[in-house]
């Protein structure tokens, strides 16, 4: 735990967790998401990986009730798919908060539900009764393209930051820029100091050599 001042600067970037690509509210009929791709990025698995790292946290933040499972395997030749599970309108009356999804999931104990895995433990489950699956092929695709297709297929509403938040984001950005400048100044200072020390050391060595030669 670092000191609060430092930590608060880091927490400012919480805005990054709220706003940016992927900040969208999913319609209530979406019951869960499942991603299936490889651990390493070769063979076109970079897009899905980036989508997970950049967009999925924001999606999860705005839709905390929707389970988002990521099943990764060491098989790079395998497919990279994103499955979106739609609840059929008839099966469950869509509630505004999506707590129906939670209810459905609480029927089976948590330990037996599919969970994220790095060893291919939980491949995409077949759709349950009254569910419909839409898949997105993610292989060899850029994460932006994946996001666009995802938003289009789910019909999610994209969130925009409020003016206040935009302002704060700009401040955080400024802080980052200033940090970069400060860092370069500091680096120059340290480098100069080291160069000088090196010069001095060499001069001293030479003096020593001359002294030894004279003796």
Partner 1 sequence: MASTSQFLASLARLSISSPASRPAASSVPRFLAPSATTQIRCASGGTAQMQARQREKDKLKRKRRQQRFKEYKYAVPSGKGEQFSLCDAMRYLRAAEVGRPPSSVTYEVALKVRTIKNGPVIRNRIRFPYPVKNDTRVGVICPEGSNAMHDARTAGAVAFGEQSLFELIKANANNLPFNRLICHTDSVQALNKAGLGRVLGPKGLMPSLKTNTITKNVKAMMNEMVGAETYREKIGVIRIPIGNIQFSPKQLSENVKTFIESIKGDIARMEDRVDKDIIEVVLCSTNGPGFTLNGGFLPTDEKVEPADLATAM
Residues that bind partner 1 (CB under 8 A): 1, 3-5, 7-8, 10-11, 14, 17, 35, 52, 56-61, 64-70, 96-99, 101-102, 105-106, 110, 113-118
Distance of closest approach, residue 152 Cβ to partner 1, in angstroms: 21
Q: Toward partner 1, which CB reaches closer, 64 or 79?
A: 64
DSSP the chain: ---HHHHHHHHHTHHHHHSSTT-EEPPTTEEEEEEEEESS-TTTTHHHHHIIIIIHHHHHHH-TTS-EEEEEES-TTS--EEEEEEEPTTTSPPPTT-HHHHHHHHHS-GGGS---BSSS-SPPPPP-TTEEEEEEE-TT--HHHHHHHHHHHHTPEEP---HHHHHHHHHHHHHHHHHHHHHHHHHHHHHHHHHHHHHHHHHHHHHHHHHHHH-
Q: Toward partner 1, which CB reaches closer, 126 or 213?
A: 126
Distance of closest approach, residue 76 Cβ to partner 1, in angstroms: 18
Q: Toward partner 1, which CB reaches closer, 8 or 190?
A: 8
Distance of closest approach, residue 71 Cβ to partner 1, in angstroms: 9
Q: Toward partner 1, which CB reaches closer, 1 or 213?
A: 1
Distance of closest approach, residue 189 Cβ to partner 1, in angstroms: 27
């Amino acid at each position: 735990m670092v000191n609060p001042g430092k930590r608060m600067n880091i927490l400012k970037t919480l805005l990054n967790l709220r706003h940016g690509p992927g900040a969208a509210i999913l319609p209530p009929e979406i019951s869960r998401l499942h991603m299936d791709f490889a651990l390493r990025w070769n063979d076109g698995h970079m897009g899905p990986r980036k989508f997970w790292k950049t967009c999925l946290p924001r999606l999860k933040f705005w839709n905390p009730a929707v389970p988002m499972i990521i099943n990764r395997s060491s098989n790079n030749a395998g497919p990279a798919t994103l499955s979106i599970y739609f609840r059929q309108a008839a099966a469950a009356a869509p509630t505004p908060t999506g707590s129906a999804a939670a209810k459905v999931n609480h029927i089976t104990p948590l330990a037996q539900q599919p969970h994220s895995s790095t060893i291919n433990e939980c491949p995409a489950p077949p759709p349950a009764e009254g569910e419909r699956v839409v898949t997105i092929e993610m292989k060899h695709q850029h994460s932006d393209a994946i996001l666009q297709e995802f938003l289009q297929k789910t019909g999610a509403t994209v969130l925009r930051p409020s003016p206040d938040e935009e302002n704060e984001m700009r401040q955080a950005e400024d802080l980052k820029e200033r940090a970069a400048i400060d860092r370069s100044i500091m680096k120059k200072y340290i480098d100069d100091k080291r160069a000088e020390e090196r010069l001095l050391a060499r001069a001293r060595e030479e003096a020593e050599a001359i002294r030894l030669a004279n003796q």
